[in-house]
């Protein structure tokens, strides 16, 4: 009888520990899948995909907002849909683009991009504002409108 009582007292803690371990294994699997998936940037029809080849020409005239990102960066994946919404809202007023820093090291190095997401606002090829980290759409809209 004593052996049975001791076993019953251990069942609940062992079951809880097992559930916690299984939960963490599942979360690690999901995070690994998210960070290692080779998904390209999700863009809207108005979001420009910038590269080392087209970057200088794109920012040379008018107001351009560029999101520097990487596929493995979780905050970048939060910022991405905000940039796409912004591109749709600012169509015809300003250019909105994304540059993958892993695929376009020349531009990222030239501009000294060390943290992502970094968002730069250019006016006629000159940087007029820099943001680091996830920013809400209204903050980005206000900054673009200052320079239109």
- Interval 5-62: pLDDT, tens: 666 677 777 878 888 888 888 888 776 766 665 555 567 889 999 999 999 999 999 9
Check the CA dihedral 55-56-59-61 and report its sign.
Answer: negative
Instruction: Clarify whether residues 15 and 84 are in a common domain.
Output: no
> Which of 129, 104, 99, 105 lies closest to 117 in space, CA to CA?
99
Cα–Cα distance, 62 to 67 (Å, whole number): 16
How many residues make up the chain in this entry? 148
143 given a catalytic annotation: no
Instruction: Clarify whether residues 60 and 132 are in a common domain.
Output: yes
Question: Residues with Cβ < 8 Å from 61, sequence gap 6 or more?
Answer: 124, 125
pLDDT at residue 40 in the model: 53
Judge whether 14 lies within some domain.
yes
Two tokens at 9? 């007292």
Instruction: Clarify whether residues 104 and 123 are in a common domain.
Output: yes
Catalytic residue, from 50, 65, 66, 76: name it: 76
Q: How many CB atoms lie within 10 A of CB 69?
A: 24
Catalytic residue, from 48, 59, 63, 73: name it: 73
SS3 97: strand
76 given a catalytic annotation: yes
pLDDT at residue 16 in the model: 82
Two tokens at 71? 């596929």
Instruction: Clarify whether residues 32 and 53 are in a common domain.
Output: no
Residue 54: C-alpha distances to residues 14, 91, 107 (Å):
58, 19, 10
The pTM assigned to this predicted structure is 0.73
**What range defines the domain where residue 19 resides?**
1-36
Instruction: Clarify whether residues 30 and 98 are in a common domain.
Output: no
Instruction: Clarify whether residues 76 and 11 are in a common domain.
Output: no
């Amino acid at each position: 009888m004593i052996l049975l009582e001791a076993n019953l007292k251990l069942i609940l803690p062992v079951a809880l520990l097992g559930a916690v371990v299984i939960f963490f294994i599942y979360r690690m699997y999901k995070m690994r899948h998210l960070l290692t998936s080779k998904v390209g940037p999700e863009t809207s029809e108005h979001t420009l995909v910038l590269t080392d080849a087209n970057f200088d020409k794109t920012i040379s005239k008018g107001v351009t907002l560029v999101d520097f990102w990487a596929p493995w960066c979780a905050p970048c994946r939060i910022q991405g849909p905000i940039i796409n919404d912004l591109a749709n809202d600012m169509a015809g007023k300003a250019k909105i683009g994304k540059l993958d820093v892993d695929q376009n090291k020349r531009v990222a190095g030239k501009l000294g991009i060390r943290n992502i997401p970094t968002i730069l606002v250019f006016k006629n090829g000159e940087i007029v504002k820099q943001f680091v980290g996830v920013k809400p759409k209204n903050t980005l809209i206000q900054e673009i409108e200052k320079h239109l």
